[in-house]
Amino acid sequence: MEYILECTNGKARAGVISTDHGKFLTPSFMPVGTQGTVKAILQRDIKEIGAEIILSNTYHLYLRPGTDILYQAGGLHKFMNWQLPILTDSGGYQVFSLTDLRKIEEEGVQFKSHLDGSTHMFTPEKVIDIQRMIGSDIMMVLDECPPFPATKEYAENSNNLSMRWAERCLNHFNKTKNAYEHSQALFGIVQGGIYPYIREHSASTLTQMNFDGYGIGGLAVGEPAEQMYEMIEVCTETLPTLKPRYLMGVGTPQNILEAIERGVDMFDCVLPTRNGRNAQFFTKFGVINITNNKYKNDFSPVDSSCDCYTCKNFTRAYIRHLFVAKEVLGLELATIHNLYYYQWLVHSARYQIIEENFSNWKKEQLQNLDGDVNRNS
Ligand SMILES: [Zn+2]
């Protein structure tokens, strides 16, 4: 994997990341394909809306279909027929958020499957082995995601454990080979809760280990947005300039713009897909709920300035009807539009960074997002 920083505008960055499955431009937004599928959209259409990389989840793929099936298929790219880059998380976040019964110890974390209650253990070495079998282009280290709020003492001990796990992941990564013909990269993950000095320590410890890139984890877990932005700033100021930074699991369009301004390059989030399936449509002028009665006879597109397949071909009234009638096409049209909007957001941000106009453009976007949602109708 190679990262090239093309240009900066303030702290905002435009770059390009090359993998054996192709390049992607940054800032980049990765649609979430938890179970080896981005819900309610075809692989063909993910490409069509302009996504250049997707994210999938180690925890879910490990439990189902299991690494033996993925290995027999020749890896996740072949299994799901997606030939562009894939990033996988380490499974840590799901273990801490989805499973009730878990035991954290130095060796790793023991947990019970949310599917059938069976007992499993994730160690730093094991999550590398699993991600080797998945064959993702970018793998993540195992980390502990401390709950919010966490005391300073908890956050510090937890981060120290995550740093020891990161080093074990890196050692195992360096000792093991790719399972398939393409190469894989490994990112460390900065933790430290809402404590700047722990974040700084975490970022500088990982920098010394020299990863291919760096995730910023444990944010958007309930802390105020301003605190999240402050933590992002501490991280990006400490992390090396010539490596990509990935803000994990964040967020709203506003969060993404603020993070880009502070030097973040990569994002993933379930909001556009999950909220879309709940009738929430993201637009440049804020979110609309398409099931609202006022759209019953509104024969305009969801967003008249949007060039996506949904907006080019269907009206608010028709999409509202699909949701009210619980037709699956509604979910698909919402997913296409929302992912297209998120791609538009990061692609436009990149263009504005190159044009050295990011800050002005961002201000304008934030004003639009806070304004009257029906202005464009
Ligand atoms: Zn659209």
Q: Are residues 130 and 152 in the same domain?
A: yes
Q: Are residues 132 and 178 in the same domain?
A: yes
Q: Are residues 312 and 264 in the same domain?
A: no
Report CA(311)–ligand 1 centroid distance (Å).
Answer: 4
Does any domain span residue 206? yes
Report CA(62)–ligand 1 centroid distance (Å).
Answer: 34
Q: How far apart are CA 17 and CA 23, in angstroms?
A: 5
Give, in order, the Cα–Cα distances in Å from 159 to each of 129, 199, 205, 320. Answer: 23, 9, 10, 46
Q: Are residues 53 and 125 in the same domain?
A: yes
- The residues assigned a catalytic role are 89, 268
Closest by CA to 147, choosing from 191, 200, 199, is 191
> 342, 230 in Cβ contact below 8 A?
no
Full DSSP string of 90-122: -SHHHHHHH-SSEEE-SS-EEEE-TTT--EEEE
The letter for the amino acid at 125 is: E
Query: Could you say which of 269, 295, 313 is where a domain stops?
Result: 269
Report CA(44)–ligand 1 centroid distance (Å).
Answer: 17
Closest by CA to 61, choosing from 29, 33, 85, 27, is 33
Does any domain span residue 16? no
Does any domain span residue 14? no
Full DSSP string of 174-242: HHSPPSSSS--EEEEEE--TT-HHHHHHHHHHHHHH--SEEEE-S-SSSS-HHHHHHHHHHHHHHS-TT
Query: Could you say which of 269, 287, 316 is where a domain stops?
Result: 269
- When divided into structural domains, the chain yields a total of 2
Q: Are residues 103 and 227 in the same domain?
A: yes
Number of CB atoms found within 10 A of residue 296's CB: 12
Q: Are residues 239 and 290 in the same domain?
A: no
Q: Residue 146's pLDDT is what?
A: 87
> Pairing between strand 185-190 and 138-140?
parallel
Q: Are residues 211 and 287 in the same domain?
A: no
Q: Residue 375's pLDDT is what?
A: 52
Burial environment of residue 112 by CB neighbours within 10 A (0 to 12, 13 to 18, 19 or more): middle
Q: Residue 96's pLDDT is what?
A: 83
Q: Is the dihedral of CA 92, 346, 332, 370 positive or negative?
A: positive
Radius of gyration of the chain (CA): 20
Give, in order, the Cα–Cα distances in Å from 122 to each of 95, 162, 343. Answer: 9, 13, 33
Does any domain span residue 11? no
3-state SS, residue 57: coil
Does any domain span residue 21? no
Does any domain span residue 10? no
Low-confidence ranges of the chain (pLDDT < 70): 372-377
Does any domain span residue 6? no
Q: Are residues 358 and 339 in the same domain?
A: yes
Unique residue bearing structure tokens 């190159």: 354
Q: Are residues 124 and 46 in the same domain?
A: yes
Report CA(147)–ligand 1 centroid distance (Å).
Answer: 36
Query: 332: which 2 tokens?
Result: 């698909």
Report CA(370)–ligand 1 centroid distance (Å).
Answer: 19
Q: Are residues 263 and 286 in the same domain?
A: no
Q: How far apart are CA 173 and CA 125, in angstroms?
A: 8
Q: Are residues 99 and 158 in the same domain?
A: yes
> 6, 242 in Cβ contact below 8 A?
no
Buried b (16+ CB within 10 A) or exposed e, 241-275: eebbbbbbbbbbbebbbbbbbbbbbbbbbebbbeb
Report CA(174)–ligand 1 centroid distance (Å).
Answer: 44
Residue-number span of the structural domain to which 361 is assigned: 276-376
pTM of the model: 0.97
Q: Residue 372's pLDDT is what?
A: 62
- CATH number at 187 reads 3.20.20.105
Does any domain span residue 149? yes
Q: How far apart are CA 172 and CA 195, in angstroms?
A: 30
Task: Kindly report the three-state secondary structure assignment for every residue of 154-174.
Answer: HHHHHHHHHHHHHHHHHHHHH
Q: Are residues 245 and 132 in the same domain?
A: yes
Query: Could you say which of 269, 292, 325 is where a domain stops?
Result: 269
Question: Cα 181 to chain center, whole Å?
Answer: 25
